Amino acid sequence: MTENKKARSGVAPSEQASERALEDGTFCNHSNTNKRGIQAFLLEGEANAMPMRELARLMGVSERQVRKLAERERDNGAFVIASDKGYFLPSADNPEYDLKRYIHRMDARVSSNRKAIRTMRKRLDELRAQANGQERLEL
């Protein structure tokens, strides 16, 4: 796992990202003054990930809104990465590693969701067949 060498040890990422809301509804902080939105609150590397609950609190929005904002920023080309630890930016020393891990996690999630959908569709077909008095034979 890569770590951000610039991060101060013993200080939570939320404390490192002292924020302020701008009039247009975007956010920036003292360490990321050139970034807007969620990116303004995030540090580099998964070791410095900001938990969603904390990010929502700092931004003054709901957790659902955090997810929507992150999605919108990604759609606009931002490298906002999420993991079980929270949201973060790719590390400067090895951004490819962080992006590959994120893509792998998302691919695994999609695969798992597809499997669940196939199973539920099969069960739905079975229930419909039973409701119609038909017996379904498995081949």
Instruction: For residue 65, give both structure tokens.
Output: 């809104």
Residue 51 to residue 88: CA distance in whole angstroms: 9
Q: pLDDT, tens digit, for every residue of 66-114?
A: 999 999 999 999 999 999 999 999 999 999 999 999 999 999 999 999 9
Per the model's pLDDT, the better-predicted residue between 21 and 60 turns out to be 60
Per the model's pLDDT, the better-predicted residue between 130 and 134 turns out to be 130
Q: pLDDT, tens digit, for every residue of 3-13?
A: 444 443 444 44
Q: Environment class of residue 27 by beta-carbon count within 10 Å: exposed (0-12), middle (13-18) or buried (19+)? A: buried
Check residue 38 and give its pLDDT. Answer: 92
What is the pTM (predicted TM-score) of this model? 0.65
Asked if 4 contacts 32 with a C-beta cutoff of 8 angstroms, the reply is: no
Q: What angle do CA 56, 45, 76 make, to 5 degrees?
A: 60
Give me the phi and psi of 36, to 5 degrees please: -130, 165
